Amino acid sequence: MQYVDAHGARIPALGFGVFRMSDAEVDAVVPAALEAGFRHFDTAQIYENEAALGRALALAGAQRDGLFLTTKVWVSNYSETRFAASVEESLEKLGTDHVDLLLAHWPGDQVPVAKQVDWLNEVHASGKARFIGVSNYNRGQLRQAIAASAAPIVTNQVEMHPYLDQSALAALAAETGTALTAYYGMADGAVPRDAVIGRIAAAHGKTAAQVGLRWLIQQGHIALSKTARPGRVAENFDIFDFTLSDDDMAAISGLARADGRLVDPAGLAPDWTA
């Protein structure tokens, strides 16, 4: 496993996400993920499977001090009365007294960034989150969050895949020492079907999905992989034994297009150009 270091956090570069997974799928796939070598698991309040993840990890005998657990606070809990209470509920569901990383899930258009950051800091100060970060923040919001936060903002979790140019955000992340965590790395199934990536994969004796994950990791980002099929988990983890050439990396990056963004919900997403 490789790691990404950001402001004192040492984060496994490859994580396992449980977005859009049922409890039954989580129960089935988490033991396979642990067996393959995954120790970084990513969930969220809105996924409604924190309890399933906590149960599956416990039943599999995973040692808490060997795990890196991330969850995210949903926007409906962005209030003085709900934020900290919702984190307590998340911890109870996960079966732990702290998470390694707590994120504000979306900036939304109702609560200022500074308030979201204040509440993240309160949870951090209580010891219930070792590190804090944000998700789906644009560059301006990331700068605001960093300036407003007492504790370091260690990551911004955002949509990242070959069809979306995130170079400007990556430059800001490098400037501020903030890690980028990539979700939707397979671009909703487009990466495994891509002819350019497929040719690169064949040259390395790998699958297109493995090359897509490797492309993210090799840029220094954290990548969240996902599969509900236990038989595919080991393939997702097997990306540390090859290196993409500069030409490979450029060819994959060259797939970016103006309409490449897939996730842009009204009322939650910011102005991505800001």
Task: Quickly count: other Cβ atoms within 10 Å of residue 200's Cβ.
Answer: 23
Catalytic residue among 47, 78, 163, 183: 47
What confidence category does residue 98 fall into, taking pLDDT thresholds of 50, 70 and 90? Answer: very high
Residue range 239-268: average pLDDT?
98
Q: Model pTM?
A: 0.97
Q: Where are the domains of the chain?
A: 9-253
User: The CATH number of 9-253 is which of 3.30.499.10, 3.20.20.100, 3.40.50.2000, 3.40.1010.10?
Assistant: 3.20.20.100
Exposure b/e, 169-198, CB count within 10 A at least 16 = b: bbebbeebebbbbbbbbbbeebbbebeebe
Burial class (CB in 10 A: 0-12, 13-18, 19+), 90: buried
What confidence category does residue 244 fall into, taking pLDDT thresholds of 50, 70 and 90? Answer: very high
Output the pLDDT for position 207.
97
Residue range 222-231: average pLDDT?
96
What confidence category does residue 3 fall into, taking pLDDT thresholds of 50, 70 and 90? Answer: very high
- Residues 268 and 9: their CA atoms lie apart, in Å, by 27
Sign of the C-alpha dihedral computed for residues 144, 146, 147 and 151 taken in this order = positive
Instruction: Tell me the per-residue pLDDT of 131-163, one tens digit each, with 9 for 90 and over.
Output: 999 999 999 999 999 999 999 999 999 999 999
Instruction: Tell me the per-residue pLDDT of 168-189, one tens digit each, with 9 for 90 and over.
Output: 999 999 999 999 999 999 999 9
Assign 3-state DSSP to the chain and report helix, strand, coil percentages, each to 5.
45, 20, 35
Instruction: Tell me the per-residue pLDDT of 246-258, one tens digit each, with 9 for 90 and over.
Output: 999 999 999 999 9
Task: Quickly count: other Cβ atoms within 10 Å of residue 81's Cβ.
Answer: 8
Containing 77, the helix (H) or strand (E) segment is none
Quick check: is 3 catalytic? no
